Amino acid sequence: MTAEELKTKLKTLKETYNRLKEALAMNPEETGIVIDATIQRFEFTFELAWKTIKKFAEALGAGECNSGRNCIKLAYRLGWIEDEEKWLSLLEARNLTSHTYNQEIALDVYEMIRSQHTAFKNLILSLEKELSELQGER
């Protein structure tokens, strides 16, 4: 994967994260759909995040990972994420929401997303730094 392709992948992740933040800015008490929309946008963002980690790791020759869990662990070892446990809890939340719908679980996941969504921002900043360094090597 070229630096330009990585840049595009990272841009898509940023746009997806911005859409998640947009949903989080809405008042869930106004309409129940806000929680559902936030969770759906979280799922998109989470999936794109681990797949972006995978592409960056492959492009930089930093290792291989083929699942969300493996990519989180690799990103932690590479210093791209600071809190492995937070990311593993986000993975667990993502798995809960994608396989079943339960209002109580949805509310718990929504609160987790509200409190931990900046993990995506921090990953994006780390990957921007990696991309900058990669482009500087040209």
Q: Which residues are catalytic?
A: 94, 99
Say whether 29 sits in a helix, a strand or coil.
coil
Amino acid at 10: L
The C-alpha atoms of residue 80 and residue 87 are separated, in whole angstroms, by 11
Helical spans, DSSP H, in 61-138: 68-77, 84-99, 103-116, 118-136
The C-alpha atoms of residue 138 and residue 121 are separated, in whole angstroms, by 26
Q: Can you tell me which residue has the tokens 């840049």? A: 7
Task: Spell out the SS3 assignment of 44-60.
Answer: HHHHHHHHHHHHHHHHH
